[in-house]
Chains A and B, each alone.
Chain A
Amino acid sequence: MKRLRLRGGRVVDPSQDLDASVDVWIEEGKIASIDADPDWVPDETVDASGLLIVPGLIDMHVHLREPGYEADETIASGTRAAVESGFTSLACMPDGDPAVDNQASAEFVTLQAHRAGFCHVWPVGAVTKGRSGQELSEMGGLVDGGAVALSDSDRPVANAEIMRRALQYAQMFDTAILSHAEVSELTRAGVMNEGFISMKLGMVGMPAAAEEIHVDRDIHLAQLTGGRVHFQSLSCAGSVASLRRAKEAGLRVTGEVNPHHLALTEEALTSFDSVYKVNPPLRTGEDVAALIEGLRDGTIDVLASGHSPRATEQKMRELDLAPFGVIGIESLLPVAVKTLIEPGHLDWSALVQCLSVNPARILGIDRGTLRPGSVADVTLLDPEERWVLDPSKFHSLSRNCPFAGWAVRGRARYVVVQGGLFRCSPRD
C-alpha cells in the first residue's frame, strides 16, 4: 500500500482540538504522523495547499435501497456518490426488501460495499423482525454481522413496550437505537407540515406534535431503561427543547438534523413539487432557527443527509401518491456551508464535529479522528470552490434533489479511505 503525504493543507480535527497548517503522513492504512516528518519517503505527495484536511466525513443516515429497490440506488452508486462528495463512511438504514434484520443480511451490505470498493458502509440493523414493530430482531447476530446501530427506519416502533425492551436488550451490545420520531396516528395521509400553508393549500398536514410526542416518549424510555437513543431527522423546535432538557438531565440521548430541514421551509410546497415532500416534513422558519441553535449549543450532535433516493417515475406523481424523501449525499457539504458556515452559525471545527467526530462516537466506530495510529480515513476539501448543484451530474441513481440550481461553495477534492487515495471527479 502506498505511503502518502498530504502536504500544505489546514488540518482541522476537533477530536484532538487541532487547527493548524501541518502535513499528514499515512502508512499501512493508518495515520502515521501529523506534522513531525517520519523516517520514510512517501510514494505519493498530495498538494493540499488551500484545502482543509479533516477526519473522513461520516454520513450516518442514508438509505441505499439495496437489496430490493435497485432502480432508486445501489450500494455501489451510493458509495460512489459518497466518495465523490467527501464521505469515507456511510451508515445505511435497514429498510431494503428484505429488511436487514439478521446477521446474513447485515453481512450482505458490507460485502456489497466491499465489492464496490469506494468507502465503508456500516449497516444499521432493524429493531424488530421485518421492521414490523412486533418482535425484537436478533440483535446479537446483527452486531456480529457488522451492525453498528439499530433502527426500524421510517417505521417508528409504535409500541412503547417493544421500544422499552429494545432499549434494554441493545445495552448488552452498547448499541444506540436510532429513532425516527413520529406518532403515525397524527400524520396519516399527511404530505406536509400542518400549519398556515397546508391550510391554504388544502393539504393534509403532519403536526409538529406528532414528532414531539414521540421524542418525549423515547426520552422517558431512555430514562427508564438507561438505553441509548439517537433521534434522526429532528425537524421542530419542540423536539430540540426536549432533547436539550434530557441532555441536561444526563440521559444518553443524541440528535441529528438533515440539511433540507435547515435550508428549506414549508413554503416550498406552494410549488406543489413532490421533490419537497419529505418525512418529517419541511417546517417553519422558527423551527429552522431552533434547529440551528441546537447545533450551535451542542444539543444536536449530528448533521446527516437522510439520503432517500427515489426513481424519477416515483416522484412524478400527484403529491399524495409520491413517496417521501430527498437525496442528500452529494449536496450535504455545500448546503452545510451555505446554511451554517457562511452565516457564521458554525465554524469548520464545529461542522466536522457534527459530520465526523460525533457520528463515530454515536455509532461506536474507530473513525472520526486523525490521531496517529488511527485508521486513515481522511477528507480533503476546498472550502472556497464555487459551483452549481446540478442533479443531472450526480453519481446517485436518483434525481430527487431539492437544491437543483443552487449556487454553492465548498467541494471535496480527495478522500483517503483506509489509506487509499481517491481523487474526486471534476464537476464540469
Chain B
Amino acid sequence: MLSQLREAARGWSGRHLLGLEELPAEALEALLQTAEFFRQSNDEQRQWDFLKGKVVINLFFEDSTRTRTSFALAARKLSANVVEFSSKSSSLSKGESFTDTARNLEALGADIVVVRHKTPGTPHLLGKYLNTCVLNAGDGAHEHPTQGLLDLLTVRQVKGSCKGLNVVLVGDIAHSRVARSNIWGLQKLGAHVIVCGPKTLVPRHIERLGVEVSHDLDEVIPRCDVVNILRIQFERQRTGLFPSIREYAHLFGVDDRRLSLAKPDVLILAPGPINRGVEISSGVADGPNSRILQQVSNGLAVRMAAMYLVAGQGMEESA
C-alpha cells in the first residue's frame, strides 16, 4: 500500500501549495493521485503517522467552518498536533502586524501553516517570510487550491477524466477564488471552461484566460457535462452589483426546470455553503446529479494529500 502512495507522490516537488496557476502538471497529478489514495484509506478508516510530532497551525483571518474543520481533521488523520488560531482570538486585534504574528507562530515551531485571508497574496508573502510549509486555504478572490482540487477529483471520479468536458462555472466569478482555481486546474486537465453570470459579476479580461464567457445559462446548460454552482454573497447585491436576489435566482439559479435542459448525466457541484432557493434549488441540491457531499469527503482527502506531500514524505517508515 505504501509503495502505491510513493508512486502517487512521485511528481511532487515544492514546499507550499499556494495556488493552481503556478502548479506544474505533474505536481497537480501527484496531488490528485495522492488524494485518491487517502480517499480510499479514509473509507477504510485508516489513521496514519506521517505527521507525527509535527505542528499544523490553522491560521484563519476570515470566518470558515467547513474548510477549517476539514484541514484540522486532515491533520489529525496524519497524527499531527493541530493549533487553531483565528483573528478574533489573536493579538491582531491588539494591533500586532500580520508578519509579526506569523513570525511568532513560526517561533512556536509550526511545520505547516494553513492560512486563509481576505487579501490576495497573503499566503505567498507568508511563504516568503517564513521557513515553514504554507497551504493556501483561500486568499481573497485569488485562489482556493484545495477547493479546486477537490472539484477536479470529484469530476474525475464521476466522469473518468476531465479531458474534453464542458464545465460551466455559474455565478459570482469576479469575487470567487473557487472560480479562479477551477479555471487553472480544469484547463490543465484539458476541460473547456465556460463562465456564466451577471455581467457585473464576470470580470473584464477573463476571456484572456482562454475561457468562454456567457450571460445566458439556458443557452449554455444543454452542452455542459459539469455545472459548478458558486455561492452568491448577499452583500454584493447591496453594493449595486445586481438588482435583487429574486432576479439573480430567476436568471442564474439552477432549479429543476434548468436541470431538465441539461444532459441527463450532468454533474452538479457546489462549493458550499449553499443558499437553497437562490443559486440552487433544494430539488437539485439533493437530487441524483448532485455530488455535493462527495465533494466534502474528497476535500478531506485532498487536504491530507497536500499536507503529506509538503511535510510528510520520508516519514513512511514509521507508519
Residues in A lying within 8 Å of B, measured CB to CB: 194-196, 199-203, 272, 313, 316-321
Contacts and interface: CB of A to CB of B under 8 A. Distances in A.
Q: Which of B124, B203, B209 has the most CB of A within 10 A?
A: B203
A394 B281 CA distance: 62
B132 interface: no
B96 to A, nearest CB: 11
Given A318-B117, A319-B120, A203 B208 contact: no
11 contacts: A199-B205, A199-B206, A201-B120, A202-B139, A202-B142, A202-B180, A203-B140, A313-B97, A317-B99, A319-B119, A320-B119
A203 B98 contact: no
A318 B205 contact: no
Contact of B140 (A194, A196, A199, A202): A202
A318 B124 CA distance: 11
B121 interface: yes
B119 A318 contact: yes
A203 B175 CA distance: 9
Nearest to B121: A272
Nearest to B202: A199
Contacts of A316: 97, 99
Interface of B: 21, 97-99, 117-122, 124-125, 139-143, 175, 177, 180, 203-206, 208-209
A317 B97 contact: yes
A313 B140 CA distance: 22
User: Main SS of the interface on chain A?
Assistant: loop
A272 to B, nearest CB: 3
Nearest to A274: B125
A201 B142 CA distance: 5
Contacts of B122: 272, 318-319
B185 to A, nearest CB: 15
A200 B177 contact: no
B206 A202 contact: no
Contacts of A318: 98, 117, 119, 122, 125
Nearest to B118: A320
Q: Which of B118, B120, B142 has the most CB of A within 10 A?
A: B120
Contacts of A200: 21, 180, 209
A313 B95 CA distance: 11
A56 to B, nearest CB: 40
B119 A201 contact: no
A317 B125 CA distance: 10
A320 B121 CA distance: 10
A336 B312 CA distance: 51
A318 B123 CA distance: 10
B141 A194 contact: no
Given A194-B204, A195-B204, A201-B142, 8 more contacts: A199-B204, A199-B206, A200-B21, A202-B140, A202-B175, A272-B125, A318-B125, A319-B119
What 7 pairs across the A-B complex have the smallest Cβ distances?
Answer: A272-B121, A202-B141, A202-B142, A318-B119, A196-B205, A199-B203, A202-B120
A195 B139 CA distance: 19
Contacts of B121: 201, 272, 319
Given A272-B125, A320-B119, A203 B141 contact: yes
A316 B101 CA distance: 12
A272 B120 contact: yes
A391 B67 CA distance: 41
A361 B143 CA distance: 50
Contacts of B140: 202-203, 320
A365 B141 CA distance: 49
B171 to A, nearest CB: 15
Nearest to B173: A199
Given A202-B177, A203-B140, A196 B208 contact: yes
A321 B92 CA distance: 13
Nearest to A197: B205
Nearest to A321: B119
B97 A272 contact: no
Nearest to A316: B99
Contact of B205 (A195, A203, A319, A321): A195
Given A316-B97, A317-B97, A319-B120, A202 B143 contact: yes
Nearest to B179: A202
Contacts of A199: 203-206
Contacts of A319: 119-122
A256 to B, nearest CB: 28
Nearest to A194: B204
A86 B307 CA distance: 54
Contacts of B209: 200
Q: Which of A202, A203, A316, A317 has the most CB of B within 10 A?
A: A202
